Structure 1
């Protein structure tokens, strides 16, 4: 099982959501999961924002999920020198038990083209970083995901699920 995960913050609470899928070209998830996080600390000014990490870990624990791969909305590495980002911290927190692919819509200044994935000809690229999976394989998998737009269908779905679930409570 593969998971796409996103977290939506609402003042001091958060909603973590995941969509499970087996095939890279799946148009719909096999299952969805959400977890409400009752208290989230504010991000420290000037420090790497890791508020999503405990939210993701709670979601995985709460639903007893053991995916082979996780796609997150954010970077695994912050730069080409592999400065650890959210994805690398998640990988370590999980004891290296599954590969992590990080997908970002914006690139930090100076990001090399090797991290760019174009899913449509005339759109801005997505930025892909990863751990425990080859970068070329991660980019190919992202290109293979369902959806004709820049952002794959399941990644849009998990973002909506996190945001809409947070608003319902």
Structure 2
């Protein structure tokens, strides 16, 4: 599964997609949830804004079949294991489901606990962090995802879906 959230008008729309294999071309299932009165962004504490949105959506999903969760962001914020969004999610799930963070921009405070990977013909890397799964394996999984561009096809589709407002608001 992969989660992403988009913010607008003091609201947040969180989308979760499921897929069968890392190499899958298509989304298996899409889950949507909108939360009002979202916390303002606080530098270095992004998880306080997005984690409640993800956890709210998770209550509506059967996690028994989930092997991994991918988030847009970092699992750790430094090499002393200061938790980022993914780390807080991993702990919130009682460390039962490995979490892989995929970030489009580098975070300078972390050196050892992240891996930069190049996909397709891009010369610009994406950055992978993980909890509950070896960083090398997590990086291989993300690298193997379908698509010939820097951002895997399913993660790009997820990002696009978050920006389409739900008709059920």
Q: TM-score, normalised by structure 1?
A: 0.90
* Equivalenced residues, count: 166
Which residue does 2:157 correspond to in 1? Answer: 157
Give a deviation string over 1:81-107, Cα, whole Å, max 9, x none.
322100000011111110000000111
Question: Which segment drifts farther, 18-27 or 35-44?
Answer: 35-44
2:112 matches 1:115: no
- Displacement of 1:108: 1.7
2:132 matches 1:132: yes
| CA root-mean-square deviation | 1.9
Measured in 1, the distance between the counterparts of 2:44 and 2:121 equals 35
- Displacement of 1:41: 1.6
| Aligned CA distance change for structure 1 residues 47 and 166 (closer, same or farther; 3 Å) | farther
Q: The residue matched to 1:62 in structure 2 has which SS? A: coil
- Displacement of 1:42: 1.1
Point out 4+ residue stretches in structure 1 off by more than 6 angstroms. Answer: none
Measured in 2, the distance between the counterparts of 1:54 and 1:36 equals 11
Which residue does 1:52 correspond to in 2? Answer: 50
Bigger RCO (CA 8 Å, 6+ sep): 1
Q: TM-score, normalised by structure 2?
A: 0.90
- Is contact 2:74-2:102 (8 Å) kept? yes
Question: Which segment drifts farther, 94-103 or 116-125?
Answer: 116-125
**Structure 2, unpaired ranges of 5+:** none
**Structure 1, unpaired ranges of 5+:** none
Measured in 2, the distance between the counterparts of 1:152 and 1:122 equals 12
